[in-house]
Amino acid sequence: MACTAELLCPVGDQARREWPPRCGTFFPLIPPADRLFAAVRPIAWPKVTMRSPAFLLSRPCRRAYDKPVQPLPNILLGNMPHTQATPVLEKYLRELKQTGRRALITFLPAGDPSLEATRQLLQVLARSGADVIEVGFPYSDPIADGPLIQAAYTRALRHGVRADDIFALVRDWCTQEARAGQHSETGGQWSVVSGQGPGVSIKSRPPLLVAMCSYSLVFRQGEDRFVERCQSAGFSGLIVPDLPVEESTGLATRCREAGLALVQLVTPTTPPHRARRIVECSSGFVYCVSVTGITGVRERLPEELVERLRWLRSITDLPLCVGFGVSRPEHARWLRDFADGIIVGSALVSHLEKAENLSLPDLLSNVEGLVRQLRAALDSPAAMSGTTGGS
């Protein structure tokens, strides 16, 4: 009998009948690793409900994780028009590289310690030298986030932060930055969507924003609507860690049509054949995970990271940006010779967990100090040699 596989919902049949779950109650169904750790049960084809290509995997599809992946026909989404326009995020990072500037990408969990604090933190990161800011959409079951970011998301959800609040905040901030650019001393015009402006140098441009979220939020609103909301709010791209590359065709196509990047991750355990598939499907930049495991502050980075970056450079010309564990100026100096940018998250979030014992001005000052140190390390004329970024 023809069968497929349905992922079992760990919170019971009632939640499955109420699919999709409300924001803040979602559980990760598909981890962003190269193996699937989900319980499955066979069901007959007549009983299959085509909820989403990301949540229905047949047994042959699951076996494909352990062998070279062939392009799969997107039978659920159909053939959609393909456009070749380069996303703004990718253009911007290439411009930075041409000027010799390494991208500083910072992560900010929206709503922690409050939405107003997030608004002010965006301003601090912008003036401190961040080129791109990942805005994290809180959800209750982080996929690969360490304790610091998990706790930040929990605090934000406890405060009642929802996706609508984040879109509104980002739209207001981008509008404010656009108006500020129109009246700058250089007289340059800043476009939130295109990221181009005559008379505005790269260093004086506002940072581009990238939405980092679980696919549950995208699926609940629908890919078309979510991408449209990201574009209208002022985002330049998306990072969806729990969306496997085999299931990303639909969202990638919609992002391309909207001029947005869909950044995908390559981990230390990603097999070479799968890494090739990921970089082919990625846009904006390739998110190079430095370590095996979850996010978090680390003293040293693995020595084999350099060889992995060199190999990735041999198969793609997309910008390579390194995240997970990058937290110190020494890391930034070491990586600037091998990567096109660094991604810093937990080191910044560690300051947010101290918000209860600090005034907001002190919190902003601490974050600004760290970002300026990282920016100075990336801009240093020569990187440290013979070290993995440790002291």
Q: What are the DSSP calls for 117-132, one per residue?
A: HHHHHHHHHHHHT-SE
Active site positions, annotated? 134, 145
Instruction: List all residues 6 or more positions away from 47 whose beta carbon is below 8 Å from its beta carbon.
Output: none
Instruction: List all residues 6 or more positions away from 326 whose beta carbon is below 8 Å from its beta carbon.
Output: 290, 301, 332, 335, 342, 343, 344, 347
According to DSSP, the residues that pair with 134 across neighbouring strands are 107, 210
Q: Tokens standing for 169?
A: 């905040």
- Write 111-114 long-range contacts (CB < 8 A, 24+): 111/138, 111/155, 111/156, 111/157, 111/159, 111/161, 111/165, 111/166, 112/138, 112/152, 112/153, 112/155, 112/156, 112/159, 112/349, 112/352, 112/355, 113/155, 113/352, 113/355, 113/356, 113/363, 114/159
Which DSSP state fits 268? T
Instruction: List all residues 6 or more positions away from 315 whose beta carbon is below 8 Å from its beta carbon.
Output: 275, 276, 279
Closest CA to 2 of 43, 38, 39: 43
346 near 152, Cβ under 8 Å?
no
R_g over Cα of the chain = 21
| Strands 3-7 and 320-323, sheet pairing | unpaired
